[in-house]
Structure 1
């Protein structure tokens, strides 16, 4: 097949792939996510109506290897059976400068409410991170089955029912007296919302402790949510929700985190690494839930709240790896740092996105320029290409030879328009991931109608402008497609993109809109250059 046919074939495959991806998004949203959400809501309602009491999960005895290290804490995912805790009482409330933390009768963190003004839900209420039927942070499971069953029936005793840690660190001690052991939790809470914890038992009784199931504020198909850990060799292990079909042991973890798009419950120890067992939840959804091997005593720190870059970095620079940018992390991380640097001078995240977009377009302009020039040359050669195709329609070898001569004579490259685009894809996906996961945009306004760049545009102004500029961009961009059906499909893409961007965060839509505007400006410039050259020739 000649190069021209190869080019058309590649364009066709790219178009088909794009349409398939977006059709999949629609189908997944309405056929998978929506039914899952409805089923989950029904399950929560059923559990609340039944008012089930806590039942001790069946935790098996630890198996150790030759070195005495825990080899596998549990025999099956059934050991993670966690019942509704909606009827468990709060025994202590801790107020920090950024959150309200509630401790229940079993010594677990039952709820975390974010108190900063910008963290509000669609109803104007302060965001709460957990639902009633979730596995809670700091829940303890004993290796001894009998003690474990008793532990879920005996309430812990606290030394204070109300603690004010808004301005200084405060300590909370929880004690649970059981037949055969005494469990003690010593918690120190800090104004920034993080805590230090030491857990110990008497009589050498071994236990496991969890960071809980992830916050469930925003878990959609657009961003990764699930479990991530950082190992001693600085590699990251990510397990997405719905993708864990069997137990998985992690040895030598610096931190573990369960997260949705914007929020995390993380446990970390950078001096003594953690040994962790991760296993599917008991509801058959294959969502990861993690338990740390505590031995008979363990010390670590934790944080439950927004994945704010500055806050995580202040606790420990390595904790910024809690923010998952996916495959293009190596580009996304410096991209966010640049975004944050610009915002430090500009003071507004919306205009920061505009400036960053302009900078990216300027840096990538040489690549864009080459691609646009190549497309213009192919457009100008389209009539001659048709003549060659018609003249040598029965001799593909001669057709290909004359096409190559034509390209060489006029300095055209059939792949010249595609290659620059492909090289820009990592940058696009990196900024996409940055803006999609940036909790910093929460509550950040831009212009008079956008009050929260992390939420959808309430009046759909930006999505419509994005679609309109995408349509205009298509109109002024040379089109070398010969097939009329391909042209019609391509022309329909702005409508598809507009539809999807109706629900995208306004910050991300703003980026795409500004990107389109500058692409249009670049294309106008290239078009004018070619028009002058044509006029000079005539």
Structure 2
């Protein structure tokens, strides 16, 4: 092999090594000085008194306004339904209609509340409902609560956007003058999203913006060290489950000085947004996204939310495929048929590459046969063997990456579409023929059995008993694997397999 043939694999190996080291190796935690503090930085070591003090995880309520009874207020937008409680002035329940309003998805547990505002001590518990403004015909709807505390009055105003899943929380603190001598810090608690009804593959992951602010860094909630850690002045902080996101996406007046997490007795995580020292009256506005992980919903609020779709390295391919899938569903009216049509369209677009790859592979096999023949013919004459080999290469050429790249392209597309079908909430609750939920397994295992049968048809029985045992064993293994996969994913793989089988049979004729 000459030096030119080494350039591509060597360059690729160096690039991949750099990417793995940069994106996957843990970064050393740093001690920060005032000039080094950047939004999204995370660290343990104390260096600044106002930021590096112990985490404040507990809430102590004052015993005022006990005569106020708890009352609930339901606000419905075209996108979702919100239930607010004056007990803490919190969001108690959030749900949204799904699959043409045939289903409803709730993202909060009954005993957990979101957007509780806590002080260092004597936090007000019972609020008074001040006003509810707007309806589904207006741009926004607002609900406002107020409560007195030892240093003045807190007013919390929730603004719900009718056209998106954005929720703004306006906090107004009116001081009675005591904040000058006794400043306070406020904390906002964000509950993790919990899919209701629950799904077996659900997993909660935290997210915070990186130091540049444009990208998100995942926070592994299974690591206990992350419960001792905090992040400085985040512009994005929250949680994502398989299909839902609860996150702060904008802090216009830099209310949040640091953010951290707390695990409650039930094992669920609450995100805590801690303010700067408040020494006088003020108003602060913080924006949140509370809703499903659909590209349309997230881009309407903050493009950074798209990074929570978990499409992996091939997200640049997955996103367009998801857009095409949604477009086909809008035209056809069913995600099952949309998956079939998308599979056929992709196979058609990749057909020239597949044919070129087949031709290149056949050419390679023919050349290899000639090489094997020359090896036997001139096995006792190495000089003549080398000369004949050079003649074959000169006459027929030697297939290089031309046959490999089309296969690689098809593999990238296959992985990207697999990621879409595995992670897209659009398939959750979508029906197709006898299947009530394309995200769940086929209830009657018809698709996995059809896939196993297609494998048997694609590979005819051999006269060798050992090969037949391997053949049936592989079919049984793959059918079992498919029986645990989502119906939408199996449908795609089945159609993809059938198309390949038909193309192979046509080529043999």
TM-score (norm 1): 0.66
Deviations 1:480-509 (A, max 9, x none): xx9x68x96576444333323334333222
Q: CA deviation at 1:526?
A: 3.2
- 1:370-519 alignment to 2 at 5 Å? 370-373=356-359, 376=362, 420-446=406-432, 448-475=433-460, 492-519=473-500
Match 1:209 to one of 144, 165, 188: 188
CA distance in 2, matches of 1:388, 1:224: 59
Q: Residues 172 and 287 (structure 1 numbering): CA distance in 2 closer, same or farther, change over 3 Å?
A: closer
Map of 1:93 onto structure 2 = 73
Map of 1:358 onto structure 2 = 344
Match 1:128 to one of 76, 98, 106: 106
Q: Secondary structure at the match of 1:457?
A: coil
Match 1:261 to one of 229, 242, 251: 242
Map of 1:195 onto structure 2 = 167
Q: CA deviation at 1:198?
A: 0.8
Q: Secondary structure at the match of 2:245?
A: strand
Instruction: Give the CA RMSD over aligned residues.
Output: 4.8
Q: Secondary structure at the match of 1:291?
A: strand
Q: Secondary structure at the match of 1:245?
A: helix
Q: Secondary structure at the match of 2:485?
A: coil
Task: Tell which deviates more after alignment, 399-408 or 109-118.
Answer: 399-408
- 1:308-323 alignment to 2 at 5 Å? 308-317=294-303, 319-323=305-309
Q: Residues 262 and 405 (structure 1 numbering): CA distance in 2 closer, same or farther, change over 3 Å?
A: farther
Asked whether the 8 Å contact 1:94–1:164 carries over to 2, the reply is no
Q: CA deviation at 1:132?
A: 4.6
Deviations 1:109-165 (A, max 9, x none): 2221334565677xxxx432122565x4213343x3xx1xx227x3233236x8884
Q: CA deviation at 1:316?
A: 4.8
Q: Residues 405 and 388 (structure 1 numbering): CA distance in 2 closer, same or farther, change over 3 Å?
A: same
Match 2:115 to one of 134, 138, 144: 138
Q: Residues 365 and 241 (structure 1 numbering): CA distance in 2 closer, same or farther, change over 3 Å?
A: farther
Q: Residues 76 and 397 (structure 1 numbering): CA distance in 2 closer, same or farther, change over 3 Å?
A: farther
Q: CA deviation at 1:323?
A: 2.9
CA distance in 2, matches of 1:272, 1:399: 79
CA distance in 1, matches of 2:502, 2:457: 11
Task: Tell which deviates more after alignment, 513-522 or 214-223.
Answer: 214-223
Aligned residues: 441
Q: Residues 388 and 90 (structure 1 numbering): CA distance in 2 closer, same or farther, change over 3 Å?
A: farther
Q: CA deviation at 1:407?
A: 8.5
CA distance in 2, matches of 1:276, 1:517: 57
Task: Tell which deviates more after alignment, 498-507 or 376-385.
Answer: 376-385
Q: CA deviation at 1:313?
A: 3.0
Map of 1:185 onto structure 2 = 156
Q: CA deviation at 1:166?
A: 3.7
Q: CA deviation at 1:320?
A: 3.8
CA distance in 1, matches of 2:56, 2:386: 64
Map of 1:327 onto structure 2 = 313
Asked whether the 8 Å contact 1:229–1:256 carries over to 2, the reply is yes
Map of 1:59 onto structure 2 = none
Map of 2:29 onto structure 1 = none
Q: CA deviation at 1:266?
A: 2.7
Match 2:93 to one of 98, 108, 111: 111
Map of 1:151 onto structure 2 = 123
Q: Secondary structure at the match of 2:438?
A: coil
Q: Residues 223 and 404 (structure 1 numbering): CA distance in 2 closer, same or farther, change over 3 Å?
A: farther
Asked whether the 8 Å contact 2:238–2:245 carries over to 1, the reply is yes
Asked whether the 8 Å contact 2:154–2:171 carries over to 1, the reply is yes
TM-score (norm 2): 0.69
CA distance in 1, matches of 2:185, 2:436: 51
Q: CA deviation at 1:235?
A: 1.7
CA distance in 1, matches of 2:383, 2:185: 76
Q: Residues 67 and 376 (structure 1 numbering): CA distance in 2 closer, same or farther, change over 3 Å?
A: closer
Asked whether the 8 Å contact 2:191–2:269 carries over to 1, the reply is no
CA distance in 2, matches of 1:257, 1:443: 26
